[in-house]
Structure 1
Amino acid sequence: MLAELSYSQAQGTPVTGGTLEEGPIPVPPAPADEATIMADWEGNLSTPRVSVMCFAFNHGDYIAMALDGFLMQRTRFPFEIVVHDDASTDGTREIIEEYAARYPSIIRPILQDVNQYSQHVWPITFCMPVMRGDIIAYCEGDDYWVKADKLARQVALFDANPRATVCFHPAIEYDEHRDEHSIICRYADSVARLSPEAIIGLRGGSIPSPALTFRRVESHVDAMLESYRGAPIMDFFLQAYMALLGETLYYEDAACVYRRNAKGSWTSQQQDHEVEQRYQRDMLAAIDTFYGATRTLPEADTLYIPLYHYFKQYVMAPGTTQQRLANFRRGLGYLHHMQRNKVLSLVRRDMFAKLTRRKAATPGQAKDTEAAA
Structure 2
Amino acid sequence: MNLEKKVLDMQSNSLPYLAVYMITYNHSKFIEQTIESIMNQTTNFDYKLFIGEDFSSDDTRAICKRLKYKYPDKIDLFLNDTNLGANVNARQIFKACFESGAKYVALCEGDDYWIDPLKLQKQVDFLEDNKDYVLCFHPIKILKQDGEIVDDFITNVPQDYETIETLARLGNYIHTPSVVFRNVIKELPFEFQLTPIGDYFLYIILAQYGKLKCLEEKMAVYRYNVGVISKMSNLDIANNNVKMYSCMIGYIKNENVKKIIIEKQIKVVTGHYKMIKATYDDAFISRHFIFLKIKKIAFFSKNPKLFWKRVKKKFQF
* Residue from 116, 128, 147 that aligns with 2:84: 116
Partner of 2:59: 91
The SS at the match of 1:200 is helix
Q: CA deviation at 1:168?
A: 0.4
AA aligned to 2:34 is A
1:76 equivalenced with 2:76 (yes/no): no
Greater Cα shift, 280-289 or 54-63: 280-289
Which has the higher Rg, Structure 1 or Structure 2?
2
The SS at the match of 1:319 is helix
The SS at the match of 1:201 is helix
Greater Cα shift, 86-95 or 127-136: 127-136
AA aligned to 2:20 is V
Q: Distance in 1 between matches of 2:280 and 2:111?
A: 42
Partner of 2:92: 125
Mark the CA change 1:319 to 1:145 in structure 2 (over 3 Å): closer, same or farther. Answer: same
The one-character-per-residue Cα deviations of 1:298-340 (angstroms, maximum 9, x if unpaired) are 74433235424422431331634997xxxxxxxxxxxxxxxxx
Q: Distance in 2 between matches of 1:207 and 1:71?
A: 23
CA contact (8 A) 2:18 2:104 kept: yes
Partner of 2:272: 314
The SS at the match of 1:166 is strand
Mark the CA change 1:309 to 1:169 in structure 2 (over 3 Å): closer, same or farther. Answer: farther
Mark the CA change 1:297 to 1:214 in structure 2 (over 3 Å): closer, same or farther. Answer: farther
The SS at the match of 1:55 is strand
* Residue from 242, 247, 253 that aligns with 1:289: 247
Mark the CA change 1:60 to 1:236 in structure 2 (over 3 Å): closer, same or farther. Answer: same
Which one has a larger percent helix, Structure 1 or Structure 2?
A: 2
Mapping 1:212-361, distance limit 5 Å: 212-217=179-184, 220-222=185-187, 224-262=188-226, 265-270=227-232, 272=233, 276-296=234-254, 299-304=257-262, 306-317=264-275, 319-320=277-278
CA contact (8 A) 1:50 1:136 kept: yes
Greater Cα shift, 50-59 or 155-164: 155-164
Structure 1: segments with no counterpart, 5+ residues: 1-39, 324-373
AA aligned to 1:230 is L
Q: CA deviation at 1:178?
A: 7.2
CA contact (8 A) 2:22 2:93 kept: no
What percentage of residue pairs aligned between the two structures are identical? 23
The SS at the match of 2:221 is strand
CA contact (8 A) 1:54 1:140 kept: yes
The one-character-per-residue Cα deviations of 1:47-83 (angstroms, maximum 9, x if unpaired) are 2211011110000000011111101111100000111
Mark the CA change 1:76 to 1:297 in structure 2 (over 3 Å): closer, same or farther. Answer: farther
Partner of 2:174: 207
Structure 2: segments with no counterpart, 5+ residues: 1-5, 282-317
Greater Cα shift, 159-168 or 192-201: 192-201
The SS at the match of 2:208 is helix
* Residue from 161, 166, 169 that aligns with 2:130: 161
AA aligned to 1:156 is D
AA aligned to 1:216 is N
Partner of 2:142: 173
Q: CA deviation at 1:208?
A: 0.6
The one-character-per-residue Cα deviations of 1:233-259 (angstroms, maximum 9, x if unpaired) are 211111111113321111111100011
Greater Cα shift, 159-168 or 70-79: 159-168
Q: How many residues align?
A: 272
The one-character-per-residue Cα deviations of 1:219-276 (angstroms, maximum 9, x if unpaired) are x432x342321211211111111113321111111100011112xx124422x3xxx3
Q: Normalised by the size of structure 2, how large is the TM-score?
A: 0.77
Q: CA deviation at 1:132?
A: 3.1
CA contact (8 A) 1:201 1:305 kept: no
CA contact (8 A) 1:45 1:78 kept: no
* Residue from 5, 19, 31 that aligns with 1:63: 31
Partner of 1:3: none
Q: Distance in 2 between matches of 1:242 and 1:231?
A: 16
